[in-house]
Amino acid sequence: MAAATAVIAGCGDSASSAPAPKAKTAAKTDAKPTAAPGKKKPPTDTEQLDTLLADRGAALAQGDRADFLATSTGAQSTKDKRQIVAAKALPLTSVRLEAKGTEVSGTRATLRVEMSYSFDKIDTFYYKTSRMTAQKTPEGWRVSNDRPSAGALAPWEYKTYKARTSTHFLALAPKSMKVGSLMTDLEKGYDRMKRGLPGVKAPKRVLVIVARTSADTKALTKDLKTLNSLTAVAENQYSTTGAAKRVDHTWGQRVFVLWPTYGNRSADERRTVITHELVHTALAGRTSARTPPWLSEGIAMYVSGDDRAGDAGALISGRGVLKDASKQAAVKKAMSLARLSRPSALSNMSPVSLSFAYSYSSAAAFAIAQKHGRKGLMKLLSAYNSEKVKGSGSKLTDRALRRALHTSLSALKADVDAYASSHSKF
């Protein structure tokens, strides 16, 4: 089993996942105390630190201020006073802190700690890692500093969020932020996603985090790029198995909504965005790490009713040109199924090229659906899970198309170009 990257994209981006949590390894360097025969040995420093972490996690999950503050000392206690208030405002069901590496030197210890946490009625866990230092005090070991080792924080560590719930969502937004009809948008988007993906088992409830700025999102995940151009983005972490890199386990699913670009859109546009992200969430467990971004993004746009083919069609037909002619060559290069068959193809594109790559991906999905229906899109998605379909990039796409739809990459390109051109607004 290998850790993999999710092609997790929002309206304008893709995001990579963190690796799967690793098995526990600990360097136990404290000396073993001796005890008289017949008497139980006192716990070692490492065992005491493990207990400290267990108590700290339990206090967070229960919102127990006294017990939580009893686990820290010094400057960390000041941070903890704010964090326990923020954690108590959230419907946490569990928080577990586990040392993956412990070094003890006298009255000071350093630990690499993995945190896992979960929320009420959400069937997934979230993970973060920390570098902790602990101090041995007269009252026992206490955490003196807790800082994220990968740069990402748990929500309550960053700021105080207000939790809102509906049938299919837990939404966290900054406490003072007014989010208008967000919960209605989410439920309408969920309904549209379910209608567009009949037979697909979607998560019963999804975590949504509302960001006031891109900095808010960057504080909680380091996997997202070009955040300033996004309206929303779905993040899924997964592991894969076999040569086909089929997804066999998912975790950490959540949707980030960037309020500055989301909140000023029309209701239909907002719900289209939500539907798009929920398609990525629903299909995360049915895909492969080999799935090309043109297909995953194209399906999300097709299901959400977001036909952007006309923009690509204007350039393909020669009836439209970019205002900035210097970008035209890069944009045309981006509108290539061969290039967009590389899983990382969207990662380093400029915003303009990215926009046209999405437009071309939309044209591809709608063109396939026009000939083969929704079932054709899903059949092609499943083809990437087959170990009989070998190769990478454009060769893999050609073989998947031949297996699933009995057509070739060159034939599909002709169909896509024709569809896009016929939908050009020029």
- CATH assignment at residue 262: 3.40.30
Distance of CA 164 to the CA centre of its chain: 20
Name the 3-class secondary structure at 76.
helix
pLDDT at 151: 76
Are residues 298 and 387 part of one domain?
yes
**pLDDT value, residue 223:** 67
Which residues make beta-bridge pairs with 209? 172, 256
Q: Could you tell me if 49 and 3 lie in one domain?
A: no
Do 349 and 405 sit in the same domain of this protein?
A: yes
> CA-based angle 397:282:219, to the nearest 5?
100
Residues in the chain: 426
The answer to whether residues 283 and 176 belong to one domain is yes
Q: Are 250 and 285 in contact (CB under 8 A)?
A: yes
Task: State which of 255, 289, 323 marks the end of a domain.
Answer: 289
Low-confidence ranges of the chain (pLDDT < 50): 1-10, 12-19, 22-33, 226-227
Q: Does 123 share its domain with 168?
A: no
Check residue 218 and give its pLDDT: 86
One domain for residues 348 and 376: yes
Question: What pLDDT sits at residue 229?
Answer: 59
Q: Please identify, among 149, 181, 199, the residue that sits at the C-terminal boundary of a domain.
A: 149
Using the structure block, give the residue that is written with the tokens 């000071």: 108
Which pLDDT does position 8 carry in this prediction? 34
Q: pLDDT value at position 4?
A: 31
For position 199, what pLDDT does the model report?
Answer: 93
Q: How far is CA 262 from CA 73, 209, 271, 303, 326, in A?
A: 41, 13, 10, 19, 30
Helix (H) / strand (E) containing 246: strand 246-258
Q: Is 237 found in the same domain as 219?
A: yes
pLDDT tens digit sequence for 282-307: 999 999 999 999 999 999 999 999 99
Q: Are 299 and 406 found together in one domain?
A: yes
Please check whether residues 297 and 425 belong to one and the same domain: yes
Residue located via tokens 């949707």: 255
Beta strand pairing call for 92-105 and 13-15: unpaired
Render pLDDT for 365-383 as a digit per residue (tens, 0 to 9). Answer: 999 999 999 999 999 999 9
Beta carbons of 294 and 312 less than 8 angstroms apart: no
Contact 316, 335 (CB under 8 A): yes
120 C-beta neighbours (distance < 10 Å), count: 12
Please tell me whether residues 381 and 349 are part of one structural domain. yes
Q: Of 289, 324, 358, at which residue does a domain stop? A: 289
Same domain, 305 and 414: yes
Beta-bridged to residue 140, according to DSSP, are 137
Count of domains for the chain: 3
Answer yes or no: do 177 and 210 share one domain: yes
Phi, psi of 307 (to 5 degrees): -85, 105
Which structural domain range is residue 265 located in?
1-17+152-289
pLDDT of residue 318: 84
